[in-house]
Amino acid sequence: MFYIYINNYYHLNNTKLFILISLYPFLSNGQLVKNIELLDNWQDNSLLVNSSQVRYNDCWGFVMNDQEYAIAGSTQGMHFFGINGSNKLEHLDFVAGKYSSSMVIHRDIKVYGNYAYAVCDEGESSLQIINLSYLPDSVHLEAENDTTFARVHNLFIDSANALMYSCLITPKVSGTLQSPKSMEVFSLSDPLNPTLVYSGPNDIPEVHDAFVSNNIAYLNCGFDGLRVYDFSNPANPVFLQNLNLYQDQGYNHQGWLSPDGTRYIFGDETNGKQLKNCTVNNTDQIVINNRFGTNYINSSVPHNIMISNDFAYVAYYNEGLRIYDIREAVPKEIAHYDTYPEDSPFKMEGAWGIYSELPSGRLLVSDRQNGLFLLNFREDIFMHQATSEYELFPNPILRGSKITVKLNSDGVNNFSIRLFSVTGQLVHSKEFNNQTFAELIINQSSGIYIMQIAHTDYLGDEIIETRKIIVQ
What dotted CATH number matches 2-19+387-471?
Answer: 2.60.40.10
Rounded to whole angstroms, the Cα distance separating 333 from 331 reads 7
Model confidence pLDDT, tens digit, residues 373-419: 999 999 999 998 777 788 889 999 999 899 999 998 877 889 999 99
What amino acid occupies position 272?
A: G
Rounded to whole angstroms, the Cα distance separating 360 from 87 reads 10
Parts of the chain with a pLDDT under 70: 1-31
CA-CA distances (angstroms) from residue 95 to 67, 78, 118, 141, 215? Answer: 20, 5, 10, 7, 32
Model confidence pLDDT, tens digit, residues 460-472: 788 888 999 999 9
CATH topology of domain 36-377: Methylamine Dehydrogenase; Chain H (2.130.10)
- The confidence score (pLDDT) of residue 181 equals 98
Where exactly are the structural domains of the chain?
Answer: 2-19+387-471, 36-377
- The confidence score (pLDDT) of residue 4 equals 32
- The confidence score (pLDDT) of residue 442 equals 85
- The confidence score (pLDDT) of residue 31 equals 52
